[in-house]
Amino acid sequence: MRAANILHLGIKELRSLLRDPVMLVLIVFAFTFSVYSSATTMPETLNRAPIAIVDEDRSPLSARIVDAFQPPFFLPPDLIDFGQMDARMDAGRDTFALVIPAGFQRDILSGQPAVVQLNVDATRITQAFSGGGYVQAIVTAEVQEFANRHRGDANLPVDLVLRARFNPELDNARFGSVMEIISNVTMLSIILAGAALIRERERGTIEHLLSMPVTPLEIMIAKVWSMGTVVLLASAASLSVVVQGLLGVPVEGSVLLFLSGAALHMFATTSLGIMLATFARSMPQFGLLLVLVLLPLQMLSGGVTPRESMPLAVQTLMLAAPDTHFVMLAQAILYRGAGIGIVWPQFLALAAIGAILFAIALARFRRTIGAMV
């Protein structure tokens, strides 16, 4: 194995990437607009939800309840008749429809059981999931204040003091932006490495390489270091410019330590991308394989939901995936400021998984080349 061959082959891969505008646009989009939108377009609380109210009571209490639904949680409510409710929800105009029955205030003042009906459009899952609790809290607060004849906080027997660690403002941008970078590192390293091999096969340049004094090991290492370097530099720029600069999200730990872990992770994922490319005969086939691989990696690695909430069998199985360990070390470093003394097990696991995937990909690559000779 000659270092000069690996260097020149890697430079060839970089030049080939520069002549591929689609891949360049994908890289720029993934580490700029995609990161920014993930941090800003998913509100962590209910925001401007449309609500309609059927007020059949027409009492001071029902008027108070209507006036309580205001921005930013809800849009100003539309007062409608009972006959309009189903048609408006069928048309998608309202997420919530609250029905206040006749005699509601009378029942409250007389101590009789009183019921209001809340209809929810559950297809709007983000608003529907949390909105019911907001509506119940607003109605309950207004009824209690009306019944007690004054506004005031209830004297609770226990005072809960909330101290939020690592994200004191409970800002969703801190989670969304960093996790998007972590997800895109995995996605692009697999895509770029696999696409580099597919391009060689589709353009017929793989035959030219076979006629040169280079080995399959040199060819594969060149693809790994070149594509890995592109993703590593793009992620570092995104973390510095978009996350820390544009979004103002602080990074608690060492960026250099995170990039070291990302480099180990990309050693594994670029090898995985090359291995997938040896099974695919064209870019469309490679794309279908990516769907089967990327979605489980991203959904089950702990980046979307905590691993502890998953079945034990899934947790154990996903320990064989590099994404699981990368998410663990990235969150520990960037969120909690962890050092190498804490994340060294994840570094070791990534190195072991990367070595196994590299060996499998190299064996598959040699077999593919042997079939072409």
Do 293 and 250 have their domain in common? yes
Do 127 and 219 have their domain in common? no
Torsion from C-alpha of 305, 266, 332, 347, nearest 10 degrees: 120
The neighbour count for residue 68, using CB atoms within 10 Å, is 16
Amino acid 276: pLDDT:
92
Do 202 and 276 have their domain in common? yes
Residue 159 domain-assigned?
no
Considering 92, 115, 148, which residue would you say is the last residue of a domain? 148
- Angle 277-283-284 from CA coordinates, rounded to 5°: 115
Do 124 and 212 have their domain in common? no
Considering 148, 183, 208, which residue would you say is the last residue of a domain? 148
Amino acid 41: pLDDT:
73
CATH of the domain at 125: 3.40.1710.10
Residue 162 domain-assigned?
no
Domains in the chain, number: 2
Q: Using an 8 Å Cβ cutoff, are 233 and 179 in contact?
A: no
Residue 300 domain-assigned?
yes
Amino acid 151: pLDDT:
59
Do 185 and 138 have their domain in common? no
Nearest of 320, 321, 264 to residue 298 by alpha carbon:
321
Do 216 and 351 have their domain in common? yes
Do 197 and 92 have their domain in common? no
Determine the structural domain holding residue 99 and report its residue range: 51-148
Do 217 and 358 have their domain in common? yes
Amino acid 240: pLDDT:
93
Do 245 and 339 have their domain in common? yes
Residue 163 domain-assigned?
no
Residue 349 domain-assigned?
yes
Residue showing tokens 């400021």:
337
Residue showing tokens 């909690």:
336
Residue 154 domain-assigned?
no
Do 238 and 364 have their domain in common? yes
Nearest of 353, 331, 356 to residue 342 by alpha carbon:
331
Residue 164 domain-assigned?
no
Residue 155 domain-assigned?
no
Do 130 and 194 have their domain in common? no
Considering 117, 148, 179, which residue would you say is the last residue of a domain? 148
Q: Using an 8 Å Cβ cutoff, are 328 and 179 in contact?
A: no
How far is Cα 352 from Cα 357, in angstroms, rounded to an integer? 9
- Angle 224-216-282 from CA coordinates, rounded to 5°: 70
Do 300 and 366 have their domain in common? yes
For the entire predicted model, the pTM comes to: 0.77
Amino acid 267: pLDDT:
94
How far is Cα 277 from Cα 199, in angstroms, rounded to an integer? 10
Tens-digit pLDDT string for the chain (373 aa): 688 888 988 998 899 889 889 999 999 999 999 999 888 876 556 778 899 999 999 999 999 999 999 888 899 999 999 999 999 988 889 999 999 999 999 999 888 888 999 999 988 777 787 888 899 899 998 998 888 776 555 566 777 777 777 777 667 777 888 889 989 999 999 999 998 888 888 777 776 777 778 888 888 899 999 999 999 999 999 999 999 999 888 888 899 999 999 999 999 999 999 999 989 888 889 989 998 999 888 888 888 778 888 889 999 999 999 999 999 999 899 988 889 999 999 999 999 999 999 999 999 988 877 665 5
